Amino acid sequence: MREPLIWPDFKSSWAQLLMEHLQDKRRHGFSYQREVYHLLQLDRLIESSGIDDIVLTEDIVSEWLSSTLHRSPSTHRKRVIAIRQLVKFMQRQGLEAQLPPLPMSPRKELGSKARIFSVNEISRILNAADELPVIAHSPLRHRVVPELIRVLYGCGLRVGEACRLTVSDVDLNEGVLTIKQGKFNRDRLVPITPGLLHRLNIYTQFLHKTDADDCFFPSPRGQYVPRSIYEIFRELLASAGIEHGGRGQGPRLHELRHSFAVRKLESWYHSGEDLNAKLPLLAAYLGHKSLVGTQAYLQLTQALHTDIADKLESIYGFVIPLDCSS
């Protein structure tokens, strides 16, 4: 089932404005779930400060942003984006509001930090998933997790996308996954390889789920959350004998997706495919907003394989940045 939308109980003098802003965003197709947290915090600030006038001054903006100045650049930037979106809404309503500058987007050096699993490591991870023991408080875990991990690696999905799959999203007749409201609020179709499709058909015999809105990968509480899958992934890494560097060091669960992308580029290269034509297909398959995110995988492929580095450089040198975001 889809995660229900959060409708907060704003209490400040700005309550109606904040609710109208939230409604406006959702009316235009944005789920605006995470941003609710920021709006609630702003509501508390307005209430505790005893502010009655609906005027977003520079002082209010500064106080609002001060609490995340010590946090990571990414966290602070998300807070700035939230307040900028509110400011733009207020300005459209003819209200006075100060627009704060948008900080530079923190860049990720994907090529130097991403871990690409070898074929042997992937095999060990999958074997560990297949050997998960039956546990009383999660009686379907040993059935669900092996197929969920295979979908993450075999289809290159983001973990949240896999967790949100419903029975109706998985077309086992056509062999296609429907990813609804993925990152950037984009829907897309993802084909399933024949081997994985065969496994998923067997899996559904144990699933006993027929309602279209039922979770395809159910947890004891209904739907797995990414954090729970990450914890299980850590367990699989340990069983597979793959060292983990600790919190924030990886390997990360998201690197199953990185590994899928790089292996796909390798496969196309070695089979003589035109990578210039294939790159946009990979971008669409992964649900990237543009080719920028996909270009990072060219950099990774180049770094991992010196034998194809020269050809990749000659074809894509003009689009392979030194620093790439995933």
Question: Residues 183, 234, 252, 305: which is the catalytic one?
Answer: 183
In the chain, the N- to C-terminal Cα span, in Å, equals 28
Q: How far apart are CA 155 and CA 158, in angstroms?
A: 9
> Residues 264, 160: contact at Cβ < 8 Å?
no
> Residues 145, 232: contact at Cβ < 8 Å?
yes
Question: Residues 150, 164, 254, 264: which is the catalytic one?
Answer: 254
Instruction: Please confirm, yes or no, whether 37 is among the known catalytic residues.
Output: no
Which sign, positive or negative, has the C-alpha torsion 110, 114, 118, 119? negative
Alpha-carbon torsion angle 234, 235, 236, 239, nearest 10: 120
Query: Is the link from the previous residue into 139 a cis peptide, with omega within 30 of 0?
Result: no
Neighbouring residues of 129: CB distance < 8 A, sequence distance ≥ 6: 145, 146, 149, 150, 236
Strand, helix or coil at 127? helix
144: closest CA among 193, 214, 244, 246? 214
- Residue-level length of the chain: 326
Neighbouring residues of 116: CB distance < 8 A, sequence distance ≥ 6: 255, 258, 259, 262, 300, 304
Instruction: Please confirm, yes or no, whether 183 is among the known catalytic residues.
Output: yes
Q: How far apart are CA 264 and CA 259, in angstroms?
A: 8
Question: Residues 38, 141, 150, 257: which is the catalytic one?
Answer: 257
Instruction: Please confirm, yes or no, whether 188 is among the known catalytic residues.
Output: no
How far apart, in Å, are the Cα atoms of 102 and each of 68, 79, 94, 145?
A: 14, 10, 22, 40
Helix (H) or strand (E) holding 191: strand 188-191
> Residues 97, 87: contact at Cβ < 8 Å?
yes
> Residues 302, 313: contact at Cβ < 8 Å?
yes
Question: Residues 25, 158, 164, 264: which is the catalytic one?
Answer: 158
> Which residues form the catalytic set?
158, 183, 254, 257, 288, 297
